[in-house]
Amino acid sequence: MKIQVVGSGCSRCHKTEENVVNACAELELNADFEHVRDVTRFAQLGIMFTPGVVVDGEVVFSGRIPSVEEIKTALSQRAGR
C-alpha cells in the first residue's frame, strides 16, 4: 500500500501526516509513505484542496484534516481487513 500526504508543509499538513502515521501504527500496517510538497504534483494526484491523502493512487481525503479513526477506517477497507 502506498500512502501519500499532499500539502505544502503547513501545520494542517503536518497534523494530517501525524494522523496517518498513527493510524498505520495502530493498524500495524506497513505502507510506503510519502509527503508530497511539490505544488505541481497536487493536481496530478487529484488534490485540489490541501491537506490531502492519496492511497494507492485514489484520493481518500482532501481539504481537511482526517481523524486517526477516519484514516484507520479508510485504510482497513483498502487492506481488506
Select from 20, 27, 26 the least CA-distant residue to 52: 20
Active-site residue 24, yes or no? no
Active-site residue 13, yes or no? yes
Out of 3, 5, 6, 13, the active site residue is 13
Report helix, strand or coil for 50: coil
- Whole-number Å distance between alpha carbons of 29 and 41: 26
Out of 1, 10, 25, 79, the active site residue is 10
Catalytic residues: 10, 13
